[in-house]
Amino acid sequence: MNWRQLPIDQKNLEKSYTEKYGLGSKYQTEQERVYLSPEIYPDLKTAISWLTLTQGDTVLDIGVNNGYELELFQNISEQKWLDSISVIGFDIIEEVLQKAWSRFENKSNYMFVKGNILDFKGKDISNDTEFKILDNSIDIIIALTSLQSTSIIENFEIFIENLMIKLKDSAQILVGTPNFHLDANNNIGGGLFDANEQKVDVKAARNFSDKLTAILISKGFQHKQFGETIIFDYFRREN
Ligand SMILES: C[S@@+](CC[C@H](N)C(=O)[O-])C[C@H]1O[C@@H](n2cnc3c(N)ncnc32)[C@H](O)[C@@H]1O
């Protein structure tokens, strides 16, 4: 079975996500090719250019996995990711976070936390201590192909309400929603594979993006969108 077709077991999230996205998974070998493909890379560049980074910002990357996308962001961003910016990479899989940490080993402004983002707390993998995301502490959220995950959409409205508490009044959110699957020849095809229904759903990504957009606009955010293969939604609120 293709990794995109593996359903998630809600009772054993870490094991299930490790099978699907862990170091031994096919995802790890496909991730770079997919991000660098002509269908995605130019759109990613546009989306990154929308982010404004300010000295002292705290960035939370939800579902950071092995840190590849975080490193790619920084390489293609026209703005410098200053050492005064704190970056929290969050994921439910420990082994991928170890890899992410090794990418940023020399950077003391990076930390990687293992936990379920619905709890807004987890284990700082550098020292095995509990880390809690404090209220009113986050300036920027990045969530690339993670928010539509089964574990998060099941409780989506509650999750967003709790997420709002963690954000500062002025905040930015960049979300990438996958609107593709890999076909039998490993080519990018339109529509997300629904692992529960075991079929391609051409509307799921747009529906998710529309729902997210409606909620965040109601919370006072302005919105910009770009991209088809990954739908990039950027939200900004200034207070
Ligand atoms: C499709 S991968 C995307 C990884 C990376 N952001 C990228 O774009 O390559 C989704 C990631 O979200 C993580 N994830 C899913 N549900 C989660 C949850 N409830 N809490 C924390 N991480 C979660 C998975 O473990 C996985 O690493």
The pairs formed by 95-101 with CB atoms below 8 angstroms and a separation of 24 or more are 95/18, 95/22, 95/23, 96/21, 96/22, 96/23, 96/65, 96/66, 97/64, 97/125, 98/125, 99/23, 99/66, 99/67, 100/64, 100/65, 100/66, 100/67, 100/70, 101/67, 101/125, 101/126
Pocket of ligand 1 (CB under 6 A): 17, 21, 31, 63-65, 68-69, 90-93, 96, 116-118, 144-146, 149, 151-152
ipTM of the complex: 0.99
Q: How far is the CA of 177 from the centre of ligand 1 (A)?
A: 12
Our CA angle for 20, 25, 31, nearest 5°, is: 95
Dig out the tokens for 8 from the structure.
């998630």
CA–CA separation, 149 vs 146, rounded Å? 5
pLDDT in tens, the chain (239 residues): 565 666 777 778 999 999 999 999 999 999 999 999 999 999 999 999 999 999 999 999 999 999 999 999 999 998 888 899 999 999 999 999 999 999 998 899 999 999 999 999 999 999 999 999 999 999 999 999 999 998 999 889 999 999 999 999 999 999 999 999 988 888 899 999 888 788 899 999 999 999 999 999 999 999 999 999 999 999 999 98
Q: How far is the CA of 144 from the centre of ligand 1 (A)?
A: 8
Dig out the tokens for 61 from the structure.
């990357």
Tens digit of pLDDT for each residue in 89-107? Answer: 999 999 999 999 999 988 9
CA–CA separation, 219 vs 71, rounded Å? 30
